[in-house]
Amino acid sequence: MKTVKNHLDTLADRSLEFPEAVAATSLYYTVTSRARRAREDGERGAVSIEQAIITIAVIAFAIVILAVISTVVHNLAGQVTTPSVPDGTK
């Protein structure tokens, strides 16, 4: 559990830059720590449940990262300039 707290503390420093990524990472670490605790308790089926939860968390994390990248690209797209050739053609 201390590892999760250390990861979240590290991300807290960057929370203003990428809040979506921090939220997704926080969710990922929370879900995986719960799954580990369930497996340690000896519950049957915890491994398959853990795999399903981790898969869902990874997919959600990937979607959030894709959204962040898409937003950054969209915001910077207007700043790209195309140089012109001296003879007037592009």
In tens, the pLDDT along 39-56 reads 776 656 556 777 888 899
Q: Is the pTM here over 0.75, yes or no? A: no
What is the per-residue pLDDT for 69? Answer: 93
pLDDT confidence of 6, banded at 50, 70, 90? low
- In angstroms, rounded to a whole number, what is the distance separating the alpha carbons of residues 51 and 38? 12
**Residues 6 or more apart from 85 whose CB is under 8 A from it?**
none
